């Protein structure tokens, strides 16, 4: 009998194997506190963490608190973050969310999903990262790496990121979510990349599906 015939068995292997590979799970976005983490996550949309980390030192030298960011002209923020892409939209979001944090939350980053998702430029994934990494609240942010790997590893049918998130939360222990979502990202970047593995190449894919011969077509 195939030891990995069920999604639960596959999930248990992934959980155990990635914990061995990545015992430490540092947040890849450089930040000082919940606000700078929030800013970095907003900037990371359709941009690499490496590029964000190259841009944020100059941005944080100018404005590292909601009070400071709220008074920076949007055009100045856009100039500094241009290498991250989508600068007009992201700069407006950063200034706008800073103003709301000051006006509605006393200058403190909200500690709830509802409070975060009400901020400009903050969707569910961004809120999930902040809740998990800033406040330690169990969350399972699903980015392109996790969405792709969940399909390759037979953990979700992956019709959309919402379904993928729900499927992964059902499969993995709640107390593992915060570290596991980072571990999957680390593995996806290093071993199961978009171009380097098609579901038949990396060690996890070969272990879970040793007889797979066709590439997995990822659903977006």
Residue 117, token pair as written in the block = 């998702």
CA distance 192 to 195: 8
> Each residue of 91-138: pLDDT tens digit?
999 999 999 999 999 999 999 999 999 999 999 999 999 999 999 999
Q: Please classify residue 122 by burial: count the beta carbons closer than 10 Å to its beta carbon, then call 0-12 exposed, 13-18 middle and 19+ buried.
A: buried
CA distance 14 to 184: 9
Instruction: Give domain 7-24+140-208's CATH number out of 1.10.3470.10, 1.10.1670.10, 2.30.30.40, 3.30.365.10.
Output: 1.10.1670.10
CA distance 153 to 156: 8
pLDDT at 194 over 90: no
Q: CATH 1.10.1670.10 residue ranges in the chain?
A: 7-24+140-208
CA distance 154 to 121: 32
Residues 1-13: what's their mean pLDDT? 93
Residues 39-61: what's their mean pLDDT? 97
pLDDT for position 149: 96
Please list, residue by residue across 175-200, b when 16 or more beta carbons sit within 10 angstroms of its beta carbon and e when fewer do. ebbbbbbbbbbbbbeebbeeeebbbe
Express as a percent the part of the chain with pLDDT over 90: 93
Express as a percent the part of the chain with pLDDT over 70: 99
Nearest 5°: phi and psi at 53?
-65, -20
Residues 204-216: what's their mean pLDDT? 94
Q: Which residues are catalytic?
A: 125, 143
When pLDDT is cut at 50, 70 and 90, the band that residue 80 belongs to is very high
When pLDDT is cut at 50, 70 and 90, the band that residue 21 belongs to is very high
Which residues, including other chains, have CB under 8 Å from residue 118's CB and lie 6 or more apart? 100, 110
Contact indicator for 19, 183 with CB cutoff of 8 Å: yes
Residue 31, token pair as written in the block = 């930040």
pTM value is 0.94
When pLDDT is cut at 50, 70 and 90, the band that residue 34 belongs to is very high
Lowest mean pLDDT among 44-48, 81-85, 143-147: 143-147
> 34-133 has which CATH code?
1.10.340.30
Rounded to 5°, the CA angle 130-135-39 comes to: 30
pLDDT at 2 over 90: no
Q: How far apart are the first and last CA of the chain?
A: 32
Average pLDDT, the chain: 96
pLDDT for position 1: 59
Q: CATH 1.10.340.30 residue ranges in the chain?
A: 34-133
> Each residue of 146-168: pLDDT tens digit?
999 999 999 999 789 999 999 99
């Amino acid at each position: 009998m195939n030891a990995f015939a069920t999604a639960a068995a596959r999930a248990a292997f992934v959980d155990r194997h990635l914990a061995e590979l990545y015992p430490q799970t540092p947040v890849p976005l450089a930040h000082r506190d919940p606000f700078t983490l929030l800013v970095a996550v907003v900037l990371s949309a359709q941009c690499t963490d490496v590029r964000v980390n190259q841009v944020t030192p100059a941005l944080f030298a100018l404005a590292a608190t909601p009070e400071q960011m709220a008074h920076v002209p949007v055009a100045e923020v856009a100039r500094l973050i241009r290498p991250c892409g989508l600068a007009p939209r992201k700069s407006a979001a950063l200034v706008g969310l800073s103003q709301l944090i000051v006006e509605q939350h006393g200058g403190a980053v909200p500690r709830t999903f509802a409070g975060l998702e009400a901020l400009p430029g903050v969707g569910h994934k961004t809120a999930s990262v902040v809740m998990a990494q800033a406040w330690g609240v169990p969350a399972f942010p699903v980015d392109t790496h996790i969405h792709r790997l969940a399909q390759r590893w037979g953990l979700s049918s992956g019709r959309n990121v919402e379904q993928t998130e729900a499927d992964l939360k059902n499969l993995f222990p709640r107390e593992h979510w915060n570290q596991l979502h980072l571990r999957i990202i680390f593995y996806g970047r290093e071993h199961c990349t978009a171009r380097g593995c098609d579901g038949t190449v990396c060690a996890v894919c070969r272990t879970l599906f040793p007889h797979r011969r066709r590439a997995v077509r990822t659903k977006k």
